[in-house]
Structures are given as structure tokens and as C-alpha cells.
Amino acid sequence: MLFTATGSDNGGQVHPSEWITVNDTGLYCQPADTYIDPMVPVAQAIITHGHADHARAGHQRVYATPTTIRIMTTRYGDDMAEQHYPLTYRESVSLGDPDDPVKLTFYPAGHIAGSAQALLEYRGGRIVISGDYKRRPDPTCEPFEVVPCDVFITEATFGLPVFRHPPIEREIQKLLHSLSVFPQRCHLVGTYALGKCQRVILALRDAGYHKPVYLHGALLKLCELYQTLGVSLGTLIPVSEVEDKQSLAGEVVLAPPSALADRWSRALPDPRTVMASGWMQIRARARQRQAELPLIISDHCDWPELLQTLREVDAPEVWVTHGREDALIYQASQMGYQAKALSLLRFDDEDEPA
């Protein structure tokens, strides 16, 4: 157990369930009067990462990593919050009553650039809110860091034993193979604008693909931001700047998933629709996306990664949110942990319109 005597006047240890609760607005830390990833504007918010199902505009005060703040201002404008406080990984800040503070520290989550787990410490109790995370190597962000705690809040987007994400290299080879088999078809790849898009481009580069990659307008700003953050994506050309769209035969065009089936794609020469998402393991989802070539590429943990993480973090208590809770709760209790569902309604990253 990590509970230690705290020396506070009213008796020390307080279990996190007494100061972290869920209400209509979201996950709430009462002694800090702060919400974590709230969906509506609040006075004070901790934001784990820039995906729109976690980061919204309009809060008064925002605590986030410097990169998450840049992502938010890129998406929502410089006035996305009245005040924002950048906090780098492993640096701490005190929130709430200075005589009885809650300490906030961010640690890398390995999900997308800037993504963080938030460690909250109060009166000797430690809770880690992991936001979204994964354990696979991702050149666009620092790897997930194991942080000891009393309560670990985990996502369960792919929280079923059937979910096993193949290596990204293997999925990218499918795309390259398709380019060689269909050299006259434009390969239109649906990718989520933040994180997935840049990871797919980097994986193409790693596989030796050095031709320009063409981008739908909705992906430009965030790719530019990643380049400014030092992630070199190679030559990127906006599709809007290509006068003769027929010249895109045999080229790779990236677009938000919603663009795969809409009018925009009709200008492209004989597009072969490709979709990069963790959900592509489910055939019905691939059909629904009208993906001729589904690529299983995810920024979330698959089932083995979730279990590996529970084992490594080894928190006595696990709260499960954001997905398929039941299977993971059962599995966690089999592993000897106390587990419960934390009902937070969310969209899921990978289905979100860009």
C-alpha cells in the first residue's frame, strides 16, 4: 500500500474515492475544485491530451503539457481558455487550498504528442488518471511511464480479448503492396487528424517511402504543428495545390475518415479507399467506412497491453472508463485488483469527425 501518514490535522489518509468523483460535468477533484477532461466549460480544468473528446475550448483556467496547449490553441485559437498553465512532464504544481493542497504532476502516456497521465496526490493518497494511452513505440511522443499509485484510472477502448493490434510495419506493408498492385489508383487513406495521421506518414517514411504525401486541407494545420515540434514528416503537399488531380494516380492521399465517401474524393483518379484505425479489426466497421483496404493502426492499447499495464502499475484499485468496461473489470479482479466502472460518457477518438 502506498498510503502513508500525512501529518494533516484531521487524521491523515483519505482514500481517493472521497475526493475524486464523477458528476454530470465529468471527473471532478473536489479539494482542487478542478475537472479532468471536462466536456463543458469549467472554471479550472486539467487536460490530458488534445483529442476533442478530452480537450474542449472555453475553460477559464487550463493545466496541460506545453504541447497539448499548442495543439489546443492550433485547433481552437489563442483564446481557447482565459488562462493556460503549461506544465512539463514530472514537474508539479499545487492546486486548491495552499494549506491543504492537491499536487498535480504529468507523466507521458504514449498516446499522441503531448499526451499525459495526470497524477493527483492529496493527503497521502495517489491517483493516476491515464487519459488515453498505449504501450507501442511511437516516434511522435515519449513512451508511457509506469507511475505507482493507489488508484489507476484506465481507458478500455479496446478492452476485449479479441483486440490484438498487429505491428504498424506490417499494416504499412499492406499499403505499399497495394500501391504496387494498383499503380494507377490514387490511394486515399482515412486517418484521424491528430496523432494517427502523423504516425502513418512516419511509418511510410520508415518503410522507405519518400515520395510526397498529399493531404486533405483538414490535416494541414496539425501536420505543420508536428513539424514545428521537431517531427519531420518529409514532403507534404496539400491536394488543393495540385492542379491536375489525375496526376495523383498511384500517389498516397491522406484525408479525415469522413472524406472517404464524400464528394471531395470524387475528383481523385479511381481512388482506392484505405482506412487506418484500431477498429479495422472489426469487419463491420471496415464495411461501414467503405474501406477497401482496412489497416489496423491504433493509438490505444490492445487487450494484452491493457493487462501488461495493470500488472506493471500494480495499483490495488483500478477504475475503468471510456470503452468496454466489463471484460477488463472482470480480468482485473481475476488478477487480484479491486476494479469498478467509472461511467464517463465520451465519443471515441477514432470515430470522431476531424
CB 54 within 8 A of CB 45: no
- Would you say 51 or 136 has its CB closer to Zn ion? 51
* Only segment of 8-16, 51-59, 86-94, 227-235 that touches Zn ion (CB under 5 A): 51-59
CA geometry: angle 220, 226, 48, nearest 5 deg? 110
Q: DSSP label at 124?
A: T
Binding mask 72-91 for Zn ion (x = CB under 5 A): --------------------
* Only segment of 49-57, 174-182, 280-288, 336-344 that touches Zn ion (CB under 5 A): 49-57
CB 87 within 8 A of CB 93: yes
82: Cβ–Cβ under 8 A, 6 or more apart, which residues? 59, 60, 61
Interaction between residue 51 and Zn ion (CB under 5 A): yes
* Only segment of 44-52, 283-291, 310-318, 333-341 that touches Zn ion (CB under 5 A): 44-52
CA geometry: angle 228, 110, 102, nearest 5 deg? 100
- Would you say 53 or 121 has its CB closer to Zn ion? 53
CB count within 10 Å of CB 88 equals 10
Least separation in angstroms between residue 10's CB and Zn ion is 36
* Given 69, 114, 116, 132, the residue binding Zn ion (CB under 5 A): 132
Least separation in angstroms between residue 51's CB and Zn ion is 4
Give buried/exposed letters for 210-220 (b at 16+ CB in 10 A, else e): eeebbbbebbe
Least separation in angstroms between residue 299's CB and Zn ion is 7
- Measured between alpha carbons, how far is 98 from 101 in angstroms, rounded to an integer? 5
* Only segment of 46-54, 61-69, 90-98, 217-225 that touches Zn ion (CB under 5 A): 46-54
Size of the site for Zn ion (CB under 5 A): 4
Residues interacting with Zn ion, by CB under 5 A? 51, 53, 132, 349
